[in-house]
Amino acid sequence: MGMSFEDLNEGQNRAPSHKKPHCDLMNSGGLPERFRRDTRGGVLVLVAIMFIPMMAFIGYAFELALTEDTRVKLQNTTDAASLAAADLEQTLDPEDLVEDFFAKAGLADNLDNVTVVSGIAERTVSIEASERLPAYLSRVVGNEAWDVAVAGAATESRQDLEIAVALDNSGSMSWAPGATSGPASTPSRMDLLIPAAQAFVDAVQPRPGQPGRTTISLVPFATQVSVGEALLGNFSVTAEHNLSHCVTFSDEVDYQTTAISTTDLLNRTAHHAPSTGARSVTSGTVACPTDSATRDIVPWSEDPEVLKARIRAMQPGGFTSIEMATKWGAALLDPTLRPVLSSLSTEPGFEYLSGPAVRGVPDEFTSDETVKYLIVMSDGENTQSYDVKPPFRTGNSPVVQVRGTNRFYYFQNRPRTRNDFFEISTARWVSRPNGTLVQLTWPEVWAQFPVYRFAELVLARVDRRRSAVGHYNRIIDQTVNTSKNPRTSAICQAAKDNGITIFTIGMDTYAQGDATLLDCASSPAFFYDVNSLDIDSAFQSIARQINRLRLTQ
């Protein structure tokens, strides 16, 4: 019954095969292998690994948005405060004004530094501001705080301004706002232009006690530009008559320069009524206006009241010659006319020119002390202008007048009859009239008779080889827009080449003339295409740009 050691070992060797020792199970690789192949917990491991970088990224994005919001608020306040404080027209202390801006924005503690530099005609205000924002989520990567710093500066320079303003006085300015044809209406385009132009004159003036001077030349225009007797008297001009004071620039070269020579002979525009519908020669029918109180140029004025009085007196009538107005406007900004201003300032009625004369107006184009502007306003396109051709401009005519009467006769030697005098009022040929006969010059004829009416009543009857239109065309030199538009472009380019900034306004143009005005402007942004009711806004916008403040940072 006893069991030996060998028996015991043999019994152990016969142990059931399904019962394996624990150490054998571990060595078999069963459970650990299954665990190794099970990936159901891998995402959690990845999340655990990426959690800190993700939180840092979210923190940076959130805090970056906060810093940008703070930066924008600081920068906007800095810009607004510097602009307001640099304004030469405001009377508050610039530094106090900046501090008030920041206090009202709730940023008083963020203002670091204010620097004010003032000159005779200039003020620059520089501002530095900052904010330190604590870090929150981004602290996990060691970021303690965000530093936001901004800076800004604004400068207003009150330089001397020289401005020429050319205003359309053509007949269509009597039309109603929005109308494409007459008749006259109230309020008319002119009724709207007058207060807008007066407000512009006031808007570009320096306030009392403020530095800088503004000199304005006003150029009303229609068919022609009436220079005025005194101003034109400082030029060398042909002397056919002294009834009106316009110049015809016939040479294309005239429009390629802003200068008008005071020594080269200029062609005085004939005093005549060119319209085929004119029944008499009046200030309203002549090509060159004779009403000096409404149409003459006002040159180089620093007196707003002088300018506004002429603006109030403007009356519509005639055609449209933008190129002539632009030529005279540019010339009044050209320093070559400085001797003309000096001479004119000593004449009665021009005492207001003494200040500009002392300062040497017009200043040089290259001067750092002066900025020059030209404003050209029209309600349409170039149309036509007129002059009288040789030999009908000067010299004696065949027309005689019985001294002291209104009896006029056209003399023509007719060998087969003794009736050599065509009586204009009765359209009859008669023998020598009773009374003293005075031979008229051609300028004296055109002072009495509209050109077409003279051609119709006289020339077409005494010389039947031509119609009234044929005779009219022999006499009248007509310039139309196909010539005027290139001339306008040429003089505008000459002005821009000399550093003159040009603003143009098209008022109720309905695209007529827009191409010319757009081409004339210094840039497309300087052309205002507006309806009549917005004319004041256009002038005020130009005034703001002329007086503009410049952000330098």
Q: Name the one residue in this structure whose structure tokens are 């107005």.
A: 325
Q: Is a pLDDT exceeding 50 seen at residue 11?
A: no
193 and 94 in one domain?
no
Residue 39 covered by a domain = no
Residue 91 has a pLDDT of 81
* 305-307-309-312 Cα dihedral, nearest 10 degrees: -130
- Of the candidates 93, 100, 96, which has an alpha carbon nearest to the alpha carbon of residue 77? 100
Is the pLDDT confidence value at 309 over 50?
yes
Q: Which of 53-67, 222-236, 262-276 has the lowest mean pLDDT?
A: 53-67
Same domain, 175 and 102: no
Residue written as tokens 């006031």?
A: 202
In a domain, 38, yes or no: no
CB neighbours of 489 closer than 8 A, spacing ≥ 6? Answer: 516, 519, 520
Q: Which residue's entry shows tokens 């002390």?
A: 369
Establish if 339 belongs to a structural domain: yes
Look-up of token digits 């640099």? 86
pLDDT of residue 511: 80
434 has pLDDT over 60: yes
**One domain, residues 429 and 502:** no
CA 216, 220, 221, 227 torsion: positive or negative? Answer: negative
Rounded distance, CA 441 to CA 240, Å?
Answer: 9
The CATH number assigned to the domain holding 293 equals 3.40.50.410
**Domain end point (choices 100, 122, 157):** 157
Q: Does residue 249 carry a pLDDT above 90?
A: yes
Categorize the per-residue pLDDT at 395 as very low, low, confident or very high, splitting at 50, 70 and 90.
very high
Q: Average model confidence (pLDDT) for the chain?
A: 87
Q: What is the pLDDT of residue 428?
A: 96
Pairing of strands 501-507, 527-530: parallel
Structure confidence at residue 500 (pLDDT): 97
> In the structure encoding, which two tokens stand for residue 336, read together?
């070559």
Does the structure show a pLDDT above 50 at 152? yes
Domain check: are 345 and 420 in the same one? no
**Are both 465 and 496 inside the same structural domain?**
no
What pLDDT does residue 18 have? 47
Tell whether 12 is covered by a domain: no
The residue that leads in pLDDT, 104 or 4, is: 104
Instruction: Indicate whether 255 and 128 sit together in one domain.
Output: no
Per-residue DSSP letter, 207: P
Higher pLDDT, 545 or 11: 545
Is the domain of 276 the same as that of 370? yes
Instruction: Verify that 124 and 209 share a domain, yes or no.
Output: no
Whether the predicted pLDDT of 269 surpasses 50: yes
Provide the pLDDT confidence category of residue 43 given band limits of 50, 70 and 90. Answer: low
Tokens, residue 128 = 């530095």
The number of domains in the chain is: 3
Q: Is residue 41 part of a domain?
A: no
In this structure, the answer to whether residues 369 and 437 fall within a common structural domain is no
Q: What pLDDT score does 40 carry? A: 57
350 lies in a domain? Answer: yes
Go through the chain and tell me how many residues it has: 553
Among 30-39, 137-146, 357-366, the range with the most confident prediction by mean pLDDT is: 357-366
pLDDT at 223 (0 to 100): 97
Question: Is 362 contained in some domain?
Answer: yes
Six token digits for residue 213: 């001077």
395 shares a domain with 497: no
What DSSP line would sit under 121-187, residue for residue?
SEEEEEEEEEEEEEPSGGGGGT--EEEEEEEEEEEEE--EEEEEEEEE-SGGGGSPTT-SS-S--SS
Weakest-pLDDT range from 36-40, 153-157, 268-272, 471-475: 36-40
- pLDDT of the residue at 535: 96
Q: For 351, which DSSP code? A: G
CA atoms within 13 A on the CB side of 185: 15
Distance of alpha carbon 399 from alpha carbon 441, whole angstroms = 8
In whole angstroms, what is the distance from residue 192 CA to residue 185 CA? 12
Mean pLDDT for 333-355 is 94
Mean pLDDT of 192-204: 97
Domain of 442?
Answer: 388-478
One domain for residues 459 and 528: no
The verdict on residue 532 lying in a domain is yes
Q: Which amino acid appears at position 522 of this protein?
A: S
pLDDT tens digits, one per residue of 507-540: 998 788 899 999 999 999 999 999 989 999 999 9
Average pLDDT (455-479) is: 97
Q: Which pLDDT belongs to residue 7?
A: 46
Clarify whether residues 167 and 130 are in a common domain: no
Mean pLDDT of 441-456: 98
What is the tens place of the pLDDT at every residue in 57-94? 566 677 677 888 888 999 999 999 999 998 877 789 99
Q: Which one of 413, 446, 478 terminates a domain?
A: 478
Question: Pick from 125, 157, 189: which residue ends a domain?
Answer: 157
Q: Return the higher-pLDDT residue of 142 and 115.
A: 115
